[in-house]
Copies of this chain bind each other. A is one copy, B any other.
Amino acid sequence: MKKESSACNCINIRRAAQAVTEIYDGYLAESGLKIGQFSMLKHINSMSPVNVSRLAEKMRLDRTTLVRGLKALENEGYISDASEKGTRSRRLMLTPEGEKALEKAVPLWEQAQRYLEDNLGTDTLKDFTALLSKIESLTN
């Protein structure tokens, strides 16, 4: 029997991440948010007023990644920056529209979370989460 060693763990997890993204974006669709935007709003909401660096750290994202993502939310009018002119650190917070969008999205996100739990099983999902965390720590 030939040893089949061609399956790439990296590509596999990427494809799975895409699949999960598709699921979450599907549930969130009627809110007009993608999961990435939902995540940004959720974090800003709970940390506001927050600057880009702290937000990036909490979201485990590169700061420059966030800068781009925030731009779309600003264009939509979902977030605003209360920092004064001439200062460096931003003070990001949700606008009333942002709060509304987030409120609408939360139950949809919860449905997506439940969908995954129902389909994988609570225990499996817990083990999975722990493993993901361990994987993430491999690069620290």
Q: At the interface, yes or no: A82 with Cβ under 8 Å from chain B?
A: no
Contact A120 B129 (CB under 8 A): no
**Are A7 and B129 touching (Cβ within 8 A)?**
yes
Kindly specify which of A49-57, A66-74, A88-96, A111-119 makes contact with the partner chain. A111-119
Residue in B6, B13, B124 whose beta carbon sits within 8 Å of that of A13 in the complex: B13
Q: Does A1 contact B (CB under 8 A)?
A: no
Bound Cα distance A124, B131 (Å): 9
* A75 close to chain B: CB less than 8 A: no
Q: Which of B12, B22, B24 contacts A132 (CB 8 A)?
A: B12
How many copies of this chain sit in the oligomeric assembly?
2
- Say yes or no for A29: interface residue by CB 8 A criterion: no
A35 to B13, CA, bound (A): 12
Distance in Å: Cβ of A21 to nearest Cβ of chain B: 6
A124-138 toward B: CB 8 Å interface, digit per residue (1/0)?
110011011111101
Name the interface residues of A33-50: CB closer than 8 Å to any CB of B: 35, 39, 42
Known interface pairs A19-B135, A20-B135; 19 further A-B residue pairs with C-beta atoms within 8 A, sorted by A's residue number: A6-B42, A8-B24, A9-B20, A10-B21, A10-B23, A10-B24, A11-B39, A11-B59, A12-B132, A13-B20, A15-B136, A16-B132, A16-B133, A16-B135, A17-B17, A19-B138, A120-B134, A124-B131, A128-B128
